[in-house]
């Protein structure tokens, strides 16, 4: 039986590049730190206010092209 150490040693715990690119984009444009979650078919960007989500919505097409992804970008207000 494998130990937890053996199972986890080959696991990559690095943050995907898309997450850091989205966080950097939002931070540079709006001076806010979003929470980002990647699922199989989408990327969920959680922000703190509806006004920020509305302003960010205008940039989603540009952000999608910058990320070069086919995943759907979704905004969530926390």
2 domain residue, yes or no: no
Please give the DSSP secondary-structure letter assigned to residue 26: H
The pLDDT value recorded for residue 48 is: 95
Domain, as residue range, for 34: 16-77
If one counts the domains in the chain, the total is 1
Q: What is the C-alpha to C-alpha distance for residues 4 and 46, in angstroms, rounded to an integer?
A: 32
Question: Per-residue pLDDT tens for 3-55?
Answer: 888 877 877 778 889 999 999 999 999 999 999 999 999 999 999 999 999 99
Q: What is the C-alpha to C-alpha distance for residues 27 and 43, in angstroms, rounded to an integer?
A: 17
42 domain residue, yes or no: yes
User: Is residue 78 classed as helix, strand or coil in its secondary structure?
Assistant: coil
**What CATH number did the domain enclosing 44 receive?**
3.30.70
The pLDDT value recorded for residue 10 is: 77
5 domain residue, yes or no: no
pTM (2 d.p.): 0.83
């Amino acid at each position: 039986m494998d130990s937890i150490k053996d199972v986890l040693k080959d696991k990559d715990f690095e943050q995907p590049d898309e997450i850091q690119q989205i966080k950097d984009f939002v931070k540079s444009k709006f001076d806010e730190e979003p929470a980002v979650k990647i699922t199989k078919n989408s990327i969920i960007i959680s922000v703190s206010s509806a006004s920020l989500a509305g302003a960010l919505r205008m940039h989603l097409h540009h952000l999608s092209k910058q990320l070069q992804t086919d995943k759907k970008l979704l905004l969530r207000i926390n």
